[in-house]
C-alpha cells in the first residue's frame, strides 16, 4: 500500500500537467475562433462618437475602411494629399450613403508637411467634431525589393515622414480630444512585416517603420486605457492593392482585396488586442510562420525577395 500512494501522485501530477498543457492551445484556439468569426463588431458610433478620421483614404485599405465606417453610420474626415482623389472618394461615399453620412476633406501631403503643422491642421479641423475613431492607414513602401543602401533618399524620407511621423503627430492631435470625452478608438495600420517572428530584408525601412507603429500603439494603449481610448495596431500580411501591384496581379484567399480585409478589420476595432492580425487566412499564415525556426524563415524570405530584386547581380 505504501508504494501505491507515490505512484498515484506521480500519475495524477503528470496527467494534470498534460491536461493543463493541452488546455492552453485549446483555449487559444477557442478564443481565436470567437474573435475571428463569432464576436460581434462594436457599435463604433454609439461607443466612441459620430466622426471617424481616415488617412490614406484615397486608395487601398484606407479607402475600403472609409466605406466600412460609413456603412456603420460614421461621418468621415477624409485626409489625403490629392484633391481630386479626395473629392472622388467623397463623391463615391455620398453616392453610396446619401445624406446619412457627412464627409469633410483635409488636404495635406503627409510627406511634405512638418509634423507640428500636421498636428495643428488636425487640431483645427477636429475642434468642433465628435471624433470617435482615428484610422492611420496612409503609408508607402518601395516598389520592389531593394538593398538598404540603394533605397532612394526621397523614398527613405517619405517612408519615415508618412509611416512614422504623420501617424504620430495625427495621433498626438486626436488623443487629448478623445481623452477629454473619455472615449475613442485608434487603429494604426501596421504590417505583419513588423518583425517579432521573422525578418523582412530588402524592405527593411518599411518593416522598421511598422515596428515603430506596433510599439507606439502597444505602449500608448496602456497609457490611455483608463482614459477610455482603445488603441490597436492591425498587422495584415500581403493584400492586393496599389502598394503590391508589382507583386500580385489579383487577389486570392491569402492575398485579399482591400475590401475583404476592411470587413475583417472593422470586426476588431475597439477590442482589447493591442496587436492583431484581423483577417483569418493572414492569422493562419502568421501562426505557421511562428512555428518555423528563425533561420529557416530568414533563409526563405531572403531567397524569395532576392529573386525579385530590381538590381539583380549587384
Q: Which of residues 221-240 bind ligand NAP (CB under 6 A)?
A: 236, 238-239
Report if residue 61 touches ligand NAP, rule: CB under 6 A: yes
Q: Which of residues 169-198 bind ligand NAP (CB under 6 A)?
A: 189, 191
Residues 113, 25 contacting (CB under 8 angstroms): no
* Span from 2-10, 25-33, 75-83, 283-291 in contact with ligand NAP (CB under 6 A): 75-83
Report if residue 259 touches ligand NAP, rule: CB under 6 A: no
Shorter beta-carbon distance to ligand NAP: residue 49 or 231:
231
* Span from 103-111, 169-177, 178-186, 267-275 in contact with ligand NAP (CB under 6 A): 103-111
Report if residue 137 touches ligand NAP, rule: CB under 6 A: yes
- 271 given a catalytic annotation: no
The β-bridge partners of 104 are 77
Residue in 15, 82, 83, 252 binding ligand NAP, rule: CB under 6 A? 82
Residue in 241, 262, 265, 267 binding ligand NAP, rule: CB under 6 A? 241
Q: Would you give the end-to-end CA distance of the chain in angstroms?
A: 76
Nearest residue to 141 (alpha-carbon basis) of 133, 152, 131, 128: 152
Q: Which residue has the closest beta carbon to ligand NAP?
A: 60
d(Cα 279, Cα 268) in Å, to the nearest integer? 10
> From the centroid of its chain, how far is CA 275?
8
Q: How far is CA 18 from CA 10, 13, 26, in A?
A: 12, 9, 12
Shorter beta-carbon distance to ligand NAP: residue 35 or 61:
61
Report if residue 258 touches ligand NAP, rule: CB under 6 A: yes
Residues across the chain: 314
Please pick, among 206, 212, 224, 304, the residue that the annotation labels catalytic: 206
Residues 210, 220 contacting (CB under 8 angstroms): no
Binding mask 22-51 for ligand NAP (x = CB under 6 A): ------------------------------
Report if residue 81 touches ligand NAP, rule: CB under 6 A: yes
- What is the smallest separation between the CB atom of 155 and ligand NAP, expressed in angstroms? 11
Residue in 44, 74, 110, 269 binding ligand NAP, rule: CB under 6 A? 110
Report if residue 277 touches ligand NAP, rule: CB under 6 A: no
49-70: buried (b, 16+ CB within 10 Å) or exposed (e) per residue? bbbbbbbbbbbbbbbbbbbbbb
Q: How far is CA 107 from CA 86, 188, 189, 234, 251, in A?
A: 8, 20, 20, 25, 30
Binding mask 194-223 for ligand NAP (x = CB under 6 A): ------------------------------
Quote the cell numbers at residue 228: 477610455
Residues 44, 232 contacting (CB under 8 angstroms): no
Provide CB contacts within 8 A for 41, sequence distance 6+.
Answer: 72, 266, 267, 268, 269
Binding site for ligand NAP (CB under 6 A): 56, 58-62, 80-82, 85, 109-111, 137-140, 162, 189, 191, 236, 238-239, 241-244, 258
Enzyme catalytic residues: 206
Amino acid at each position: 500500500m505504501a508504494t501505491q500512494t507515490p505512484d498515484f501522485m506521480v500519475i495524477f501530477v503528470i496527467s494534470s500537467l498534460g491536461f493543463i498543457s493541452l488546455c492552453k492551445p485549446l483555449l487559444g484556439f477557442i478564443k481565436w475562433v470567437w474573435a475571428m468569426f463569432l464576436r460581434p463588431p462594436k457599435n463604433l458610433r454609439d461607443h466612441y462618437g459620430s466622426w471617424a478620421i481616415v488617412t490614406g483614404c484615397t486608395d487601398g485599405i484606407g479607402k475600403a475602411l472609409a466605406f466600412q465606417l460609413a456603412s456603420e453610420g460614421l461621418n468621415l474626415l477624409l485626409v489625403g494629399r490629392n484633391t481630386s482623389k479626395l473629392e472622388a472618394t467623397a463623391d463615391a461615399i455620398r453616392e453610396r450613403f446619401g445624406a446619412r453620412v457627412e464627409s469633410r476633406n483635409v488636404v495635406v501631403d503627409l510627406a511634405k508637411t512638418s509634423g507640428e503643422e500636421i498636428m495643428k491642421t488636425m487640431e483645427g479641423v477636429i475642434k468642433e467634431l465628435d471624433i470617435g475613431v482615428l484610422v492611420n492607414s496612409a503609408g508607402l513602401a518601395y516598389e520592389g525589393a531593394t538593398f538598404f543602401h540603394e533605397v532612394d533618399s526621397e523614398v527613405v524620407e517619405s517612408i519615415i515622414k508618412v509611416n512614422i511621423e504623420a501617424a504620430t503627430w495625427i495621433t498626438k492631435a486626436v488623443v487629448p480630444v478623445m481623452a477629454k470625452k473619455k472615449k475613442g478608438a485608434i487603429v494604426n495600420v501596421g504590417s505583419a512585416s513588423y518583425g517579432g517572428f521573422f525578418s523582412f530584408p530588402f524592405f527593411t525601412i518599411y518593416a522598421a517603420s511598422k515596428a515603430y507603429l506596433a510599439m507606439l500603439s502597444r505602449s500608448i494603449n496602456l497609457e490611455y486605457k483608463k482614459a477610455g481610448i482603445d488603441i490597436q495596431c492591425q498587422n495584415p500580411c500581403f493584400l492586393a492593392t496599389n502598394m503590391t501591384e508589382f507583386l500580385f496581379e489579383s487577389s486570392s484567399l491569402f492575398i485579399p482585396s482591400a475590401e475583404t480585409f476592411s470587413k475583417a478589420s472593422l470586426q476588431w476595432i475597439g477590442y482589447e488586442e493591442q496587436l492583431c492580425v484581423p483577417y483569418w487566412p493572414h492569422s493562419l499564415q502568421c501562426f505557421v510562420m511562428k512555428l518555423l525556426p528563425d533561420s529557416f524563415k530568414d533563409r526563405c524570405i531572403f531567397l524569395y525577395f532576392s529573386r525579385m530584386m530590381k538590381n539583380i547581380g549587384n
